[in-house]
Amino acid sequence: RLGIAEYLHSTLGDRFAPPQILKDKVARGELGRKSGKGFFDWTE
| 18 in Cβ contact with 10 (< 8 Å) | no
Q: Which residues pair with 1 in a beta bridge?
A: none
Mean pLDDT by 10 residues, the chain (44 residues): 93 95 93 88 78
Residue 5, pLDDT score: 93
Q: Half-sphere exposure of residue 12, counting CA atoms within 13 Å on the CB side?
A: 10
